Amino acid sequence: MEYVHGSHAGEQLGPGVQVWIGGRDFRLSELLGEGSFGAVWSATSPGLNCEVAIKEIICRSEVELGRAATEQQLLKFVGRGLVDNPGLKEDSPAAVAAKRFPSLVASEVKALGPDLWQVRLAMTRLAGKPLESLLETANEGTRPTADGSLVETCRCVRSLLDQLVPALEHLGTQALHRDITTRNILVDKTGQNYSFGLVDFGLAVDVVKWKADLLTHDIGGDGHYWPTSSWFVLEYGAHHLESYPALLQEYEADLDVHALGVIALRCLMELWAPEAMVAEAKSKSSPPSWAQTAKLMRLRMAWTNFWDDIARFWQPIFDAFACGGCDALEQLKSLYAQAGVHHMVSADLCAVRAALRELRDVAELNDLRVICDALLLLMRPGKKRDDKPTWRRIRAVLRGERSASRAPSPAVKEVAEEGHPQSRQQFLVGKELPAKTEHGSSQGRNRRDLCDALKTELRGWPSSGVPAASVAASQSTYSPSGSMWSSASVSSHCGSATVGKPISYLHVS
């Protein structure tokens, strides 16, 4: 990034204000979003035929400055695909990434004082609004997918995966995004066509450094989209992952993979209107497959159970960050470790995957079969699996070149848990928690008793919907080393600020 001094840096941003960044002239128009990290503005610049977004980041340590530098480098990297390789095919990962991610236009950093820097990043602005707003509209009864039919919903989900998987394959050669959420995915709907993009690289980490320095990185992002391994790290710390190779592999490589899978399944479940099946049955000479319908409803039940559990586990963590500070979070960590929350998350995911397998085997719609195959690779169960997910393999499934394994390997014991409708009930009763003496011995404890105690405890946990403006000064973020805390912030991304609503995600910046 370019370091600057003088009158053109440090001015107050606002509508109509003219700023210089990296030698370019920009005129701001409207505020897109803001948080404790700073703000994002839309702007125009002479000589550019597109609108840009300008992100201002206030860094209060060299670590935060390093994160801003990583974001700048990634914005530059994803935008160079077509420039460096003009002959690329349109569907190549590099070409898709250049369309689905914002790219760097200009950047600069200014030292404001000791351990205080102002970073400004000008980037191309992607069209659309946060996917979260689309889902909120669906939950309020207005279906964005026309009549809420399964065909239209599958078309939307296929578009999401077809567009973002190759883009993330290109990004994955350099970094993990670590904050793929419905608030960071933008969607632009024109007629029956959907265009998706992904913004906010503020939590992204270099993929090589991430694996080499796993213990020194903070855990962050939105817990709704965490895999099992992230819940384990919250409970015990990353230094225990070495004893659990499946969780270690998942935490090292699959954070983005799992997050996109959860989002895709959430879209399928929330955009689809089951009542649309009645209209379909009346309007067609042949009724829809009831086997497919039954398996869809079973998947919906498994999804609802998983999503409700995740929401119940995540909200107290967020409230502890916002209101209770370190002591409250330490109490939750101990409580979650005792109850084995990561086991419950894994059991829920196994039930979801079992339902996906059954639905795939009876699905009549080709798009639905492909989506199920892709989700079986994307959504990780927190257990040993032979089907190691890679973006290239997922992309091949979406193109119809290969499918996910039709039957789990008999050598993996956890397969039985996925395939049995009572798997979660059996899993939660009578199983022992791993003995971790530094977090309190749990041997001999019945898991059902612990689950009941956890639910009772969480019902009494103070929960408050804290708007963004009141949260910024009271944040902490857990370090996987288990031995340090660092300041953090809650922030919104470009175009997703929600004033007066509870914030459901954490950004470490």
pLDDT (tens digit, 9 = 90+) per residue, 167-178? 999 999 999 999
Contact 174, 76 (CB under 8 A): no
Is residue 406 over pLDDT 60? no
Q: How far apart are CA 389 and CA 195, in angstroms?
A: 24
**Cβ–Cβ under 8 Å, residues 505 and 132:** no
pLDDT at position 2 over 60: no
Between 228-236 and 341-362, two packed helices, what is the crossing angle to 10 degrees? 180
CA distance 417 to 109: 52
* 21-35, 265-279, 371-385: range with lowest mean pLDDT: 265-279
Percent of the chain whose pLDDT exceeds 90: 55
3-state helix, strand, coil in the chain (%, to 5): 50, 15, 35
Which helix (DSSP H) or strand (DSSP E) does residue 97 occupy?
helix 93-100
Helix (H) or strand (E) holding 185: strand 185-190
* Contacts made by residues 46-49, CB under 8 angstroms, sequence distance 24+: 48/105
What lies within 8 Å, CB to CB, of 326 at 6+ separation is 476, 485
**What gap in Å lies between CA 343 and CA 327, rounded to an integer?**
24
Output the average pLDDT for the chain: 78
With 70 as the cut, is the pLDDT of residue 491 above it? Answer: no
Instruction: Evaluate whether 9 touches 108 at the Cβ level (below 8 Å).
Output: yes
CA 55/CA 40 separation, integer angstroms: 4
pLDDT of residue 127: 93
What are phi and psi for residue 105, nearest 5 degrees? -105, -45
Tokens 């492909």 locate to 370
* Backbone φ and ψ of 389, nearest 5°: -80, 130
* Phi, then psi, of 206 in degrees rounded to 5: -60, 130
Q: What is the mean pLDDT of residues 28-48?
A: 86
pLDDT of residue 274: 81
H helices present in 109-226, as ranges: 131-139, 150-171, 207-212
CB 175 within 8 A of CB 97: no
Banded model confidence at residue 144, pLDDT cuts 50, 70, 90: low
Beta carbons of 101 and 167 less than 8 angstroms apart = yes
- At 270, the pLDDT band (50, 70, 90 cuts) reads very high
- The pLDDT of residue 107 is 96
Q: Identify which of 114, 18, 140 has the alpha carbon closest to the alpha carbon of residue 59.
A: 114
Q: Is the pLDDT of residue 495 over 90?
A: no
Q: Hey, what are 114's tokens? A: 């000791």
Beta carbons within 8 Å of 317's beta carbon, 6+ residues apart: 223, 234, 329, 332
When pLDDT is averaged across residues 456-476 and rounded to a whole number, the result is 40
Residue 497 to residues 84, 90, 348, 465, 468, Cα–Cα distance (Å): 35, 33, 31, 15, 8
Give 180-209 pLDDT, tens digit per residue: 999 999 999 998 899 999 999 999 999 999
Residue of higher predicted confidence among 435 and 8 = 8
Interatomic CA distance for residues 346 and 13, integer angstroms:
46
As a whole number, mean pLDDT of residues 293-317 equals 95
Tokens of 371: 């989506």
Q: 40 — phi, psi (to 5°)?
A: -125, 130
pLDDT at position 447 over 90: no
Contact between 370 and 394 under an 8 Å Cβ cutoff? The reply is: no
The answer on pLDDT for 322 being more than 50 is yes
pTM of the full structure: 0.80
Q: Stretch 127-154: mean pLDDT, rounded?
A: 82
Distance CA 24, CA 53 (A): 14
> What percentage of the chain reaches a pLDDT higher than 70?
71
State yes or no: pLDDT of 143 exceeds 80: no
pLDDT reading at 253 higher than 90:
yes
Q: Are 381 and 228 a contacting pair, CB within 8 Å?
A: yes
> Where does the pLDDT of residue 328 fall: very low under 50, low under 70, confident under 90, or very high at 90 and above?
confident
Is residue 484 scored above 50 in pLDDT?
A: no
Residue pair 292/359 in contact by the 8 Å Cβ criterion: yes
Report the pLDDT value the prediction gives residue 34, as an integer from 0 to 100: 79
pLDDT value, residue 454: 61
What letter does residue 488 receive in the DSSP assignment? -
Residue 454: strand, helix, or coil? helix
Residue type, 469: A
Phi-psi label, residue 281: left if phi above 0, alpha if psi -120 to 50, beta otherwise: alpha
